[in-house]
Structure 1
Amino acid sequence: MKLVSVVLSGGAGTRLWPASRQAYPKPFMKLGGRTLLEQAISRGQDCGAGEVLVVTNQEYLFLSENLVAEMADPPQVRYMLEPKGRNTAPAIALASISVAQTHGRDAVMLVLPADHLIPDTSAFVSDALRAAELARKGQLVVFGIQPTAPETGFGYIEVTKVSSQPQSVLNFIEKPNLATAQGYLAEGRYYWNSGMFCFTAGSMLDAFAKYAPDILECANEVMATAQCQPSEMRFNAHAFGLQPDISIDYAIMERANNVSLIPAKFGWSDVGAWTAVADAHTPDLNGNTLACEQHIDWVSVNTSGTHVHIDSHGHKSVVATVGVKDLIVVHMPDALLIADKKQSQDVKKVVEILKQRHINSAQHQSTLMPPSVNRPWGTYATIREEGGYKVKRISVRQGQCLSLQYHHRRAEHWVVVRGRGIVQIGDVEYLTEPGQYRYIPLNETHRLTNVGEEELILIEVQCGDYLGEDDIVRLADVYGRA
């Protein structure tokens, strides 16, 4: 039977600020050298999924496509592009309709959030294949995680007794208080709800028809007006927004009587806070962990239990910590976080405060945009910005080009430092190589195309009385943004 992996890729990940931003959320963070989204896609492949359906916001399409294209063994991926988030029940309803239409009601769907860390792939595959067998028998299967602590940040699932075998689910329980969680841990009949599921498309559609017919009706209306292409589905924003904002747990799993639990044999983390990120790294003898893509010399004096995360435009050769314990230190080009590990869940409060304080100002970008902003053609990073000028580093992938555009309130100076490009200014095209300079006056049309054999890197200096990203008038664009 057909197995389709459905990867739910979304969420702002505010507890992982400043590395996770609204425009660059948690699924795109790297752990162990690979992004969480890539790891989720690979897990579906390892289970034998013939197709991967990625459910994500339409703004993340190019970012997701670029990530998949760079995988060593890129799978066949279809994208279900949401114009706005409506929680997991509408997403799974739409995915179930699509899978049933494409592969039939008997197709098995393995639903995997894109923000989980599962180091033991073979154990996961073993459990997933057991879940698929149950799904073919009409069960709605959830993966349960054996609790290791009285965690108050997870939902719980109650079963009759502890067993290594699949079990019927008695109850789904929302996030408990500490005393209740301690009781669950002591009793041993409760599992953490992982948010991973397995079922056939037909079984889930039948469950929606029985327990949440309003959601199914809305989903059918959304699908009726969907724009479907071989690799993507787009939806009418108004119709999509009419869907209820509700989780699959509330809508279906808590109501259905054919729910089974697979006790997971694999280690699992939802990477919900910086402490989970730290736990994913190998500690030194003092329990310290370091995350940095560049080589860095960390000098730690009387330091223990501390996690340091470095992501900087400029290379840092040394980081030093003295006399600190159980801290989270995250250095980004535009933000610095220092937090007590015990209060890492409260990082999301920083994002809330920043949004309220700077709702209409440039500082609000620290919660929206990552330091390196992804575009269909590549990336850009702001290196310096002061009154009247801004300096950017622009990277354009091989064969890609920026839109034909102009600006009302700024002129631009371009210097190519790597690669070869065609710079169009007005109606004239200039081959531009490393060390060569081009000037784009105010209101002049221009475009940059990478015609070389490698990545093109450009240093751009903007000069003007307004330097916002919305001062762009696109005249033509190969990515459909004009």
Structure 2
Amino acid sequence: MKLVSVILSGGAGTRLWPVSRRAHPKPFMVLGGRTLLEQAIVRGQGCGAVETMIVANQDHLVLTQAVIAAMANKPRTRYLLEPKGRNTGPAVALAALAAAEAHGQDVVLLVLPADHLIADAQAFVADALRAVELARKGRLVVFGIQPSSPETGFGYIEVSKVGQEPQTVLRFVEKPNLAIAQEYLATGRFYWNSGMFCFTASTILGAFRKHAPDVLDAAKESMATAEARADSLSFSAEAFCLQPDISLDYAVMERADNVTVIPAKFPWSDVGAWSAVADAHTADANGNTLACQEAIDWVAVDTTGTHVHVESHGQKRVVATIGVKDLVVVHTPDALLVANKWQAQDVKKVVNTLTQRHIDSPQHQSTLLPAEVIRPWGTYATLREESGYKVKRIVVRKGQSLSLQYHHRRAEHWVLVRGQGIVQIGDLEYPTSAGEYRYVPLGERHRLVNTGADDLILVEVQCGDYLGEDDIVRLADLYGRAGGDSNPGKPRR
């Protein structure tokens, strides 16, 4: 019997701003040297999955493919690309239909969120294989986490008594208030709901048919109108958005009578706030933790229980903290967060406030785009922006190319600082090496191809009365993005 790992790579992760943003959400955060998404994929591989099926927003395909491309042991991967989030119920229904069509009704689905942290991979695999055996017997299996505190951010699962062996679920309970959560802990009858599941395609599709036929019918319609490629399914926005916005718990698990909980024997975190991120790092003698992919010099004077996270685009930084306790300090090139560690859940309020202030204009997208934006050809980062000009650092990967494009309202100055390539301006092509400069007039067609053996790095200076990312018309593109917005100034969607 085959096993397919279904990775649910959705959610905005707003409580982990400014690192997690709508265009670069929590699954792509790096913890322990790897993204959370990669860690979820590896967990599925460890259970013997014949295929990894990733359900993700279509706008995150490039990010997801970049994660896969960097893996030493690349899985056989299929992408289910959502035009809009529709919660876990429709996502699982679509995955079950796709897996059943590819592998048969008896295929086992191991459903894993892409944003969890599980430190003990061996213990996870052992529990997952127990879940697979129960799934083969027609059970809907959920992984339960023995609660360590009266957490109000999780759903709960009630059983006869918390123990070490699988049990029949008595009921699911949504996120309680603090008083009720404390009562749950006192009874010894409740697990946290991890949001990880295991069942066969036939069992879950039968449960949808019985308990949520509207979800199943809408998923079938989405499948019928989907555009299939070799490794992906892209869904029509019109059909997809007719699906109910409902969780798997609400749609099926709370209503079914064949649900079993497996008590997790592995350490688990949903990495729901910066305090959880801090807990995932090794603390020094004063309880301080540091997360940084670049070299920084942290001077901590009379500092305890504080977490520092720095993203600096390769620039060396000095961070100094004096006389502080239990803080979270997160520094990115375009945003700074300083918060009490025990109020880390309130970061979501910051994101809401920024959105309400309407500062997510093309010139200021602090909750949408990360400081370094990933594209199919490489990355770009804005180094400086003022009225009339913007300076970018652009990295074009080996063998990749920018699209043939033009802009309505800006000219561009290009200086190659590393590598070599061919710059096309109009109908002419110019071989260009490190240290050389090219000028792209306003409205002129242009393109850059990396012809070197390594990454090409370009410093671009844009000049014009409007510098938004939507002022681009792609005439030809290797990545299927030809066409553009003829109305620069209107925010892109």
SS in 2 for 1:368: coil
| Alignment partner of 1:91 is 2:111 | no
| Alignment partner of 1:372 is 2:372 | yes
- 1:360 and 1:111 map into 2 onto residues whose CA distance is 34
SS in 2 for 1:367: coil
Letter in 1 for 2:279: D
Q: 1:227-246, aligned counterparts within 5 Å?
A: 227-246=227-246
Q: 1:158-307, aligned counterparts within 5 Å?
A: 158-307=158-307
- 2:391 and 2:368 map into 1 onto residues whose CA distance is 20
8 Å contact kept, 1:110–1:197: yes
**Deviation digits for residues 33-83 of structure 1 (CA, Å, limit 9, x no counterpart):** 000000000000011001000000001111111110110111110000000
SS in 2 for 1:95: helix
Equivalent residue for 2:435?
435
**Deviation digits for residues 409-465 of structure 1 (CA, Å, limit 9, x no counterpart):** 111010111111110011111111110110101111000011111111100001111
Q: 1:344-359, aligned counterparts within 5 Å?
A: 344-359=344-359
8 Å contact kept, 2:18–2:336: yes
8 Å contact kept, 2:360–2:367: no
- 1:398 and 1:176 map into 2 onto residues whose CA distance is 51
| 1:359 positional shift | 5.0
Letter in 2 for 1:410: R
- 1:317 and 1:17 map into 2 onto residues whose CA distance is 20
8 Å contact kept, 2:362–2:469: no
- 2:361 and 2:117 map into 1 onto residues whose CA distance is 35
| 1:316 positional shift | 2.8
Letter in 2 for 1:84: K
| 1:360 positional shift | 5.7
- 1:335 and 1:162 map into 2 onto residues whose CA distance is 44
Equivalent residue for 2:29?
29
Letter in 1 for 2:81: L
Equivalent residue for 2:400?
400
8 Å contact kept, 1:105–1:201: yes
- 1:162 and 1:317 map into 2 onto residues whose CA distance is 48
8 Å contact kept, 1:93–1:216: yes
Equivalent residue for 1:452?
452
SS in 1 for 2:165: coil
Equivalent residue for 2:387?
387
- Higher mean displacement: 145-154 or 179-188: 179-188
| 1:184 positional shift | 1.3
- 2:18 and 2:297 map into 1 onto residues whose CA distance is 22
User: For structure 2, which runs of at least 5 residues remain unmatched after alignment?
Assistant: 483-493
**Deviation digits for residues 118-166 of structure 1 (CA, Å, limit 9, x no counterpart):** 0000000000000000000000000000101111110000001122111
8 Å contact kept, 1:394–1:459: yes
| 1:312 positional shift | 1.2
**Deviation digits for residues 88-127 of structure 1 (CA, Å, limit 9, x no counterpart):** 0000001001111110110000000000000000000000
| Alignment partner of 1:3 is 2:3 | yes
Against the structure 1 CA distance between its residues 84 and 324, is the aligned structure 2 distance closer, same or farther, given a 3 Å change threshold?
A: same
| 1:180 positional shift | 1.2
8 Å contact kept, 2:294–2:312: no
- 2:364 and 2:400 map into 1 onto residues whose CA distance is 30
TM-score (norm. length: structure 1)? 0.99
- 2:356 and 2:104 map into 1 onto residues whose CA distance is 47
User: For structure 1, which runs of at least 5 residues remain unmatched after alignment?
Assistant: none
- 1:360 and 1:278 map into 2 onto residues whose CA distance is 28
| 1:317 positional shift | 3.9
- Higher mean displacement: 418-427 or 112-121: 418-427
**Deviation digits for residues 165-203 of structure 1 (CA, Å, limit 9, x no counterpart):** 110000100111111111211221100000000000000
Task: Show structure 1 runs of 4+ deviating over 3 A.
Answer: none
Equivalent residue for 1:145?
145
Equivalent residue for 1:111?
111
SS in 1 for 2:366: helix
Equivalent residue for 1:55?
55
Letter in 1 for 2:438: R
Aligned CA-pair RMSD: 0.9
Equivalent residue for 1:154?
154
SS in 2 for 1:101: helix
| 1:400 positional shift | 0.6
- 2:209 and 2:180 map into 1 onto residues whose CA distance is 34
- 2:364 and 2:149 map into 1 onto residues whose CA distance is 36
Letter in 1 for 2:162: V
TM-score (norm. length: structure 2)? 0.97
8 Å contact kept, 2:360–2:366: no
8 Å contact kept, 1:412–1:462: yes
- Higher mean displacement: 424-433 or 124-133: 424-433
- 2:274 and 2:149 map into 1 onto residues whose CA distance is 17
Letter in 2 for 1:442: L
Q: 1:15-26, aligned counterparts within 5 Å?
A: 15-26=15-26
8 Å contact kept, 1:219–1:243: yes
- 2:381 and 2:7 map into 1 onto residues whose CA distance is 29
SS in 2 for 1:164: coil
8 Å contact kept, 1:358–1:364: no
| 1:313 positional shift | 2.7
8 Å contact kept, 2:127–2:265: yes
8 Å contact kept, 2:146–2:162: no
Equivalent residue for 2:335?
335
